[in-house]
Structures are given as structure tokens and as C-alpha cells.
Amino acid sequence: MEFQSVIKAKPLGGWYIELTETATGETVVCDNLDEYMEKIEEMGRDYGPGMQVAWSVDPTVDKTIMDVYVLEIRGLMQKYQDETGVAEG
């Protein structure tokens, strides 16, 4: 099972993560990393270690600002993967 996680820019500044379950097309918007981690755990609960998460950044996002968030996201995802055995795509 694969999930797509796309970091996107908000029109008035800031960012959000659009999380999509590719099999069903279900998409949720997460305004922060805590919300994202809660949603990925909830949506991926039935898939266990077979779940993969593919990350991308929308081209409209300011790359210099995103560098900081990408590092934080990678750290959280590594922790989640270590705890659950989920692979990152």
C-alpha cells in the first residue's frame, strides 16, 4: 500500500501536507506535523509494515523555508518507521 505525501504552500504563507491513500484516492490535509503523524497512523493502521510513503514538494513551495521542515519531517518519519517497520518510498 502506498501513500503520497505532498508538501504544498498555503496562499497566504506557510505550508501544509496533502496525504493521499493511492488505492482509494482518499486525501486529507494536515496543517502541521503532529496532525500528519496522527493521520498517517490512522489511515495506515490496516496495512502495517507493507505501507510505503512517497514524499514530494510542490514546486510553488519556497525551497529555503522547506529545507528546515523537510529535515524535521524526515526525523519524524524515521522514528515512525523504526517503531512500526513501515518503509518510506
Q: Which residues contact 1 (CB under 8 A, 6 or more apart)?
A: 21, 22, 23, 44, 47, 50, 51, 52
* β-pair partners for 20: 4, 27
pTM: 0.76
Using an 8 Å Cβ cutoff, are 72 and 33 in contact?
yes
How do residues 39-69 score in pLDDT, each as one tens digit? 988 998 887 777 788 988 898 887 776 777 7
